[in-house]
């Protein structure tokens, strides 16, 4: 493969990947009903504001689900895949691009949660005793992960000061990938 095409694909994946990460953070901030006053939240809002201002004018927010941001995540992933396939000289149907975009977004959300939970757990060992209130990143991750971890914490109480909800959440998310998302991806590949 041509090194220039490889470099272009790398830049496309890196640029769109970072932008999609910011959009996912914004979506999860709204979903977690965060106050959006922490420095990381303000940065995410500032960096993603411009295209969303226009989308909010005709795409409503349903409770704590930001449909405009979700649409922009989908469009960004769709364009990234379209450019990648075009540079490789491959063709994929419109339905195939849509389906692959949706699967990639599901993977992105799941792995985002897995890594953010792991980082939050590591930070809790570094600064225990409610250390997330002292560090803006820890507090930010705590607020993002709260909707996923609190239901588990309601079922599995801490044992001798150890909170097993992050471990259970990560294992559950990985099982979701293995039992649901991977089979969908395989089904899609078999239909191509």
Return left, alpha or beta for 161; rule: phi > 0 is left, psi -120 to 50 is alpha, else beta.
Answer: left
d(CA 14, CA 17): 5
Q: Is 162 helix (H, G, I), strand (E, B) or coil?
A: strand
Tokens, residue 7: 């470099």
d(CA 146, CA 187): 33
Question: Tens of pLDDT along 13-63?
Answer: 999 999 999 999 999 988 887 667 778 888 999 999 998 989 998 998 888
Question: Tens of pLDDT along 137-156?
Answer: 888 888 889 999 999 999 99
Average pLDDT over residues 58-71: 90
Taking 60 as the threshold, does the pLDDT of residue 132 lie above it? no
């Amino acid at each position: 493969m041509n090194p220039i095409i490889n470099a272009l694909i790398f830049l496309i994946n890196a640029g769109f990947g970072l932008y999609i990460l910011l959009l996912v953070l914004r979506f999860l901030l709204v979903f977690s009903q965060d106050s959006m006053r922490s420095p990381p939240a303000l940065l995410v809002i500032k960096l993603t504001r411009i295209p969303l201002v226009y989308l909010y004018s005709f795409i409503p927010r349903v409770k704590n689900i930001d449909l405009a941001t979700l649409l922009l995540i989908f469009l960004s992933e769709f364009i990234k895949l379209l450019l990648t396939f075009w540079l490789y000289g491959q063709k994929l149907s419109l339905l195939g691009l849509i389906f692959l975009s949706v699967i990639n977004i599901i993977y992105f959300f799941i792995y985002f949660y897995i890594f953010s939970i792991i980082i939050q757990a590591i930070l809790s060992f570094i600064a225990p005793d409610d250390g997330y209130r002292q560090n803006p990143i820890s507090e930010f991750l705590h607020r993002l992960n709260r909707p996923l971890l609190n239901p588990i914490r309601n079922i599995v109480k801490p044992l001798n000061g150890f909170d097993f909800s992050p471990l259970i959440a990560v294992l559950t998310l990985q099982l979701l990938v293995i039992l649901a998302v991977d089979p969908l991806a395989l089904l899609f590949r078999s239909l191509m």
